[in-house]
Structure 1
Amino acid sequence: MARMIRAIDDEVYVEDDAFGLYDTDVSIDSAGSDHWAAVRLEAWDGEPPPADESWETADRLTFEAETGIVALVMPEGTGHDFLIGPPYFEYAVAVYSKGGGDLEEAQERWYEAFEEGVEEPVRGVERWLLRFSGPFVMSSTPSGTCGRFRTANRGGWSRSPGRPSPSRCRCPCRRRRSGRPRSRTRCGPLSRSGCGARRRCS
């Protein structure tokens, strides 16, 4: 039976009816824009059970995690870092939501209050549950990438022999965070750091 390894409660400011996850190509559609949504992130060591009946199933997505750490993406910065597992593996996320049907009415009340000087947007009406599971499949990575992992087992993983430990790697492979979800399309040619990690141009 799968077990939950860790969880965190966070929130995300939704703009343009969607929000994303840092360092992935995941985009989640919201019921509205310009509001704060409550989000619970959970990491599981296997396929998680379905959420209870109070949640509506929104989607199930797979993605490659280049760092093994995700965070909610907002117009300005990101939410809290959340570790889901080792880097360069494929993961799945089961997406659930609730409260979307009440969001439109709440925002209409806020628009009326905004005209009277209330600037704080709607908060916590829409709620999300993201259940991450994996790692499943070894992703293709540049030769010589630091911290590269070879196998993924249920509840654990092992690092390829002969590779440097991630904690000892001194390569400049930490990328600048963007206020928007990472796109697969990059401007200009890719550069490579000493550990083979891909970096975006500024």
Structure 2
Amino acid sequence: MKNLFISACGLLLLWSCQGQITQNKPESTMEKQTLHQFKVKDLSGNDFDLASLKGKKVIVVNTASKCGYTPQYEQLETLYKEYKDKGLVIVGFPANNFLWQEPGTNEEIATFCQLNYGVTFPMMSKISVKGKDMDPVYQFLTQKDKNGILDSDVKWNFQKYLINEKGELVKVYYSKTLPTDPEIVNWIKG
């Protein structure tokens, strides 16, 4: 009986100490992620390692071919041509999450972008940017526990995520904000 009592006290003491250790742990032990840790596929099905963008400012945008904001492709391309030699990369991720406004295949999307807007910036394979099947890149972009900055929802097509040279999220602009908005241009130049 005495041994049982001593064992019970020992377990209680051990449990008590573990509780104190746990309480002293920092709230989040998850290491902040960066855009550079991801590998994706481009529209042609080739691997695209986002680590290749280290040292560059990046605008990540979810795109769609049949959206009222689709003409933003033209402004995105203008920005890309003007600033690509100064360290800017625009990365498009076609998505069909909003009213089926991107129904095409990767090949159809590539043809559409080239014929209608002369897109030369990197376009990735079609993904999901919200919901249960959200792509890991967009999980990073939208979840504070992964990006270390903020939570956000992808509200519609052509939402813009600004990423600094270290691959860290800086700011989010909703679809209404044009790619050539002075705030975005100043960030590119800064």
Return the TM-score normalized by structure 2: 0.23
- Structure (1 or 2) with the larger CA radius of gyration: 2
- Higher helix fraction: Structure 1 or Structure 2? 2
